[in-house]
Amino acid sequence: MSLKLKFDGKSVDWNEVVNILIESGMPHRSPEVHKRAFYMSHPVLFVYSDNKLVGFGRAISDGEYQAAIYDVAVLPSYQRKGIGKLIVSKIIDMCPNCDFILFASNGSERFYEKLNFKSNNTGMILSAGDLNPAATHVHDSLSDHTEVNTQS
Ligand SMILES: CC(C)(COP(=O)(O)OP(=O)(O)OC[C@H]1O[C@@H](n2cnc3c(N)ncnc32)[C@H](O)[C@@H]1OP(=O)(O)O)[C@@H](O)C(=O)NCCC(=O)NCCS
């Protein structure tokens, strides 16, 4: 299978991105939201087979020592052909010296284990949906020069 790789979001059809997320059982948002998320991410990778988008992935990285991988998805009819491994491997190659974190979807754990990822017991998450209004207010009011008094 001949594959073409694209390393930016220019000319990507974001409706196709949403479609692949839906088809592969991943959470999805509107095409515009995914476009903005990919544009604000680095590195990003889109895989085409015969000019058809068949998979993608992205990371958020400081480019030095930390990176987080998100939205790795392959169209179901193209799965188990090495495309997912290609996507993650390329992202890793593009962030040399970085540690990587990710949340594996249910059922994809073995895929990541084969790429040498290991479970970690101390990973923690604060979901946007769990943020209470007070916490959001404090966060919004912070700027570079804001002094905050904490209870101590
Ligand atoms: C998970 C996913 C990205 C893997 O992509 P893929 O192209 O099918 O994976 P590959 O063909 O590159 O597989 C690489 C290796 O992992 C194995 N593998 C892939 N998916 C696996 C799974 N779900 N369970 C166990 N092993 C798996 C393959 O057999 C292959 O093994 P090998 O190197 O010994 O031959 C793809 O199945 C997918 O899009 N799933 C739905 C979305 C999802 O869960 N994404 C992950 C979000 S965190």
What CATH number should be reported for the domain holding residue 110?
A: 3.40.630.30
For residue 56, being part of any structural domain is answered with yes
For residue 132, being part of any structural domain is answered with no
CA distance 67 to 31: 24
Q: Is 70 in contact with 102 (CB distance < 8 Å)?
A: yes
**What one-letter code names the amino acid at 150?**
T
Whether 87 shows a pLDDT value over 60: the answer reads: yes
Q: What confidence score (pLDDT) does residue 150 get?
A: 74
For residue 135, being part of any structural domain is answered with no
Domain of residue 44: give its range. Answer: 3-122
For residue 12, being part of any structural domain is answered with yes
Q: What confidence score (pLDDT) does residue 83 get?
A: 98
Ligand 1 atom 5, closest CA: 84
Q: What confidence score (pLDDT) does residue 149 get?
A: 75
Q: What is the pTM for the complete model shown? A: 0.91
- The rounded Å distance from CA 108 to ligand 1 centre is 6
Q: What is the pLDDT of residues 101-143, one digit of tens each?
A: 999 999 999 999 999 999 999 999 999 989 876 655 554 555 5
For residue 127, being part of any structural domain is answered with no
For residue 143, being part of any structural domain is answered with no
Pocket test for ligand 1, best of 80, 88, 100, 112 (most atoms within 8 A of CB): 80
The vertex-74 CA angle with 14 and 22, nearest 5°, equals: 55
Q: What is the pLDDT of residues 2-61, one digit of tens each?
A: 999 999 999 999 999 999 999 999 999 999 999 999 999 999 999 999 999 999 999 999
Q: What confidence score (pLDDT) does residue 140 get?
A: 52
For the chain, the domain total comes to 1
Pocket of ligand 1 (CB under 6 A): 24-26, 72-74, 79-85, 102, 104-105, 107-108, 110-111, 114
Pocket test for ligand 1, best of 108, 117, 125 (most atoms within 8 A of CB): 108
For residue 90, being part of any structural domain is answered with yes
For residue 78, being part of any structural domain is answered with yes
Ligand 1 atom 41, closest CA: 24
